[in-house]
Structure formats: structure tokens, C-alpha cells
Amino acid sequence: MTIYIGADHRGLEAKKSIMDYLKEKNINVVDAGLPNNDLDDYPDFAFKVGKLVSKTQDSLGILICGNGVGMCIAANKVKGVRCVRAVDKDDAYKGKNHNGANVIALGANLDINILKEIIDTFILTAPAKEERHLKRINKIINYENGEYNEL
């Protein structure tokens, strides 16, 4: 599994800590590679990570900005991405297991230990398998592909 990570200027310190943490766990983590400065824009990082995840099988994405909201909104504009903003382990679990999330958006305003718990949960959670969740995820995918039959 490959994990792509990106952060704007507000999430830069957290990104560095998370990358070190994941590397210590022998997880392949790849920086999206965009330069950071005080004027960088979160959508650029969200789009880049989203594109990488959508084109790479068995990959996940991690995005970090001030509170995770902007990154989540932007990432969900990328075809093939289902991004969840998580502030706790339950969000990470349900986002992946119930909603098929393949990208997680986090806030740099959270304690680094909480971020690590959220990320661990996201990585270790199995993808959706229950029919009711798969049906809903497929509706989202079909809508994205212009194939949704409205009720």
C-alpha cells in the first residue's frame, strides 16, 4: 500500500511528523511534492493527492490543513476520491468502512497523538463489505460517472 500525503503551510509540521511516524511503521508514504510557503493554497495539495490516489490502486491519501474542511471539500472534486474529514477515530472508521473513503482530511489544530490515532484507524479499517454500504458507495460512483438514475 502507498499513502500519499499533502499539506498546506498550516499542516506542514504535522505532515513531517506523520511521515516520520508512518516510515517508522514501514509504511510507504509519498509526499505529494508541492512546495510550501505562506501563500500556498490548500486546493492544490488536495487535487494533487486526490489525482495520485485515484490513479494508484491500493493507495490512500492524507491531507492536512488548518482544520481539514477545505482540503476535504477540494479533494472530493477529484473523480474517484471519497474524502472524509476526521476529528476522531470514529470518523476515520466510518468514513472508510461505511462510506468508502480513500482520502482523509485532518486539521493541524489537533494534537499530533490524536492525529496518529486517527490515521492508524483509517489505515487499519477494512473497506466496506456490507451490502447496504456498498450500495450507497456505488450510487456515489455512478453519479460521479453520470450514470445515476434519480429516484
Q: Which residues are annotated as catalytic?
A: 65, 98
In sequence order, what are the residues at sequence separation of 6 or more whose Cβ sits closer than 8 angstroms to the Cβ of residue 123?
Answer: 1, 3, 27, 60
Whole-angstrom distance, CA of residue 111 vs CA of residue 35: 24
Give Cα 82 distance to the centre of its chain.
8
- Tell me the CA distances in angstroms from 49 to 3, 5, 75, 147, 150, one per residue in order: 9, 6, 8, 25, 30
Which residue's C-alpha cell is 481539514?
A: 68
Alpha helices in the chain (DSSP H): 12-24, 42-55, 69-75, 89-97, 112-124, 131-144
Contact status, residue 32 vs residue 61, Cβ threshold 8 Å: no
